[in-house]
Amino acid sequence: MISNKVEICGVNTAKLPVLKNEEMRELIVQMRNGDNSAREKFIKGNLRLVLSVIQRFNNRGENVDDLFQVGCIGLIKAIDNFDLNQNVRFSTYAVPMVIGEIRRYLRDNNSIRVSRSLRDIAYKALQVRDKLISKNNKEPTISDIAKELKIPREDVVFALDAIQDPISLFEPIYHDGGDAIFVMDQISDNKNLDDSWIENISIKQALHKLNKREKLILTLRFFEGKTQMEVADEIGISQAQVSRLEKTALSHMRKYI
């Protein structure tokens, strides 16, 4: 999506500069001393970071220009709040800020609207969660949060669920230099367990042991969902005969499964 578009919001992405870590630290010092030109250079030197972040949201169907502008807001917030005294690279600090800004934008512009009161409960619950973690050094339960907020536990559950961002099943969650691990790889499928798969193979093999008429009757009855009367009309025999042949065929299949 981005790779096929050179200009985003009037910015020629092919000509964006890349700053080294030492250059960024020097520019930050100059910015703190009121040098606006250093600020402008610093922002331009980190636009590639914004581009790399918005690629994670390509599958949302959002306009790239809009995401880029929102990402730039997150970048500017990161610049304003970055502390040089902390032993951390600017990109490490900025990426979560940019992601957070984009997620807020997607949440607020989601076609599935979440009420203001529900969002307020969710944000208060997250604040209480952080407070309880700091106080007790462990993850609080939903009941703990609800008790602190003095509201029903169910209200906390609904509120936190409402602000969760949907993600694609094909979003990578881990990459070790080889094949990526996607969200769908971590989801169990009760319909396609090994036992079920083996059972289906056994049924197909057992069907091949039946004669042509028995196989036809079971196919019409259990794979196409027809009644015994409908099967009788289709193959030109009585319903009683269909019932007898069906029972015989099932009895034969049990010997092979």
3-state secondary structure the chain: CCCCCCEECCEEHHHCCCCCHHHHHHHHHHHHCCCHHHHHHHHHCCHHHHHHHHHHHHHHCCCHHHHHHHHHHHHHHHHHHCCCCCCCCHHHHHHHHHHHHHHHHHHHCCCCCCCHHHHHHHHHHHHHHHHHHHHHCCCCCHHHHHHHHCCCHHHHHHHHHHCCCCCCCCCEEEECCCCEEEHHHHCCCHHHCHHHHHHHHHHHHHHCCCCHHHHHHHHHHHHCCCCHHHHHHHHCCCHHHHHHHHHHHHHHHHHHC
Q: Are strands 172-175 and 180-182 parallel, antiparallel or unpaired?
A: antiparallel
Domain tally for the chain? 3
Indicate which CATH number applies to the domain containing 70.
1.20.120.1810
Q: What is the pLDDT of residue 161?
A: 74
Residues 121 and 89 in one domain: no
Q: Which residue has the tokens 């969760």?
A: 164
| 150, 180, 210 - which closes a domain | 180
Q: Residue 101 falls within a domain, yes or no?
A: yes
172-175 vs 11-12, strand pairing mode: unpaired
The tens place of each residue's pLDDT in the chain, 257 residues long, gives 444 444 555 555 566 777 887 888 888 889 888 888 888 888 888 888 888 888 877 766 678 888 888 989 989 988 888 888 877 788 888 888 888 888 888 777 765 555 677 778 888 888 898 888 888 888 888 889 999 999 988 888 878 777 666 555 555 555 555 555 555 555 555 555 555 555 666 677 777 788 888 888 888 888 888 888 888 888 888 888 888 888 888 888 777 66
172 occurs within a structural domain: yes
In a domain, 186, yes or no: no
Do 153 and 113 meet the contact criterion of CB atoms below 8 Å apart? no
Residue 24: count other Cβ atoms within 10 Å of its Cβ: 20
Q: Mark residue 150 as left, alpha or beta (left: phi above 0; alpha: psi -120 to 50; beta: remaining).
A: left
Rounded to whole angstroms, how far apart are CA atoms 48 and 60?
20
pTM exceeding the 0.95 threshold for the entire prediction:
no
The answer to whether residues 200 and 223 belong to one domain is: yes
Domain stops at, among 108, 139, 172: 108
Residues 77 and 126 in one domain: no
Considering the domain boundaries, does residue 241 fall inside one? yes
**Same domain flag for 140 and 227:** no
Both structure tokens of 11: 């910015």
- Same-domain check for residues 126 and 49: no
Domain range for 62: 7-108
